[in-house]
Amino acid sequence: MNFGFDLDGVLFPWHENVYQWCRDNLDVDVSYREFWSWPDGWFGSRRNKPFIHDIVRLPELYLTPLAKKTHIKAIHRINRLIPGEIHYITARPVEVTDATKEWFQFSELPFSDNVHFTKKQGGKKEVLLKRLNCSFYVEDRVDYAESVLGVSNLFLVNRIWNEGFEHPDVVRIKDVKDIPNILERGL
């Protein structure tokens, strides 16, 4: 049994980076909550605009901070509890492939060669998860969570953009570091 992780909003604070970048470079003066409320917050209501298309392709927003030590520890523990491979499956734009690889190079996460870009491989997380035999997946977005439910057991990290979403087969967590204890107790 293999275990899959999303990156942004799960292992990497991309939303914090985008918020900070927009405050520094654009005329953004709303709270983090207002910025990321979904789908009508500052970002969500502009998500199809060309300038947003450019912002999400800025490599600098994918390089720091490196993976949290608490996450690295948790993933090692998960791997002992569920022996198998760890995979990282992301819908990041292909333009940030090098930045992503650089982040993994310095982040010391286990199985760091197992990085998969859905946009290079058919476009769907559930297809990749099935192909990679991932019985578990950790996600932060509702749309992906719903599409993955039939394939993997799902952990959903509590975020502003998924507030209110409930599903009997979804296990909500505050942080990746909560997962080992949940697995030990039994799902």
Which of 13/84 has CB closer to Mg ion?
Answer: 13
Among the listed residues 69, 70, 66, the one whose alpha carbon sits nearest the alpha carbon of residue 178: 70
Residue 8 makes contact with Mg ion by CB under 5 A: yes
Which of 9/180 has CB closer to Mg ion?
Answer: 9
- The bridge status of strand 115-117 relative to strand 2-5 is unpaired
**Other beta carbons within 10 Å of 137:** 28
By CB under 5 A, name the one of 3, 5, 9, 129 that touches Mg ion: 9
Rounded Cα distance, 115 and 99, in Å: 12
Residue 126 makes contact with Mg ion by CB under 5 A: no
Q: What do you get for the CA distance between the two ends of the chain, in Å?
A: 15
Near Mg ion in 133-172, by CB under 5 A? 140
With CB under 5 A, what is the number of residues at the site for Mg ion?
Answer: 4
Which of 164/186 has CB closer to Mg ion?
Answer: 164
**Other beta carbons within 10 Å of 139:** 26
By CB under 5 A, name the one of 6, 17, 87, 118 that touches Mg ion: 6
| Residue number of the CB atom closest to Mg ion | 9
Which residues sit at the interface with Mg ion, rule CB under 5 A?
6, 8-9, 140
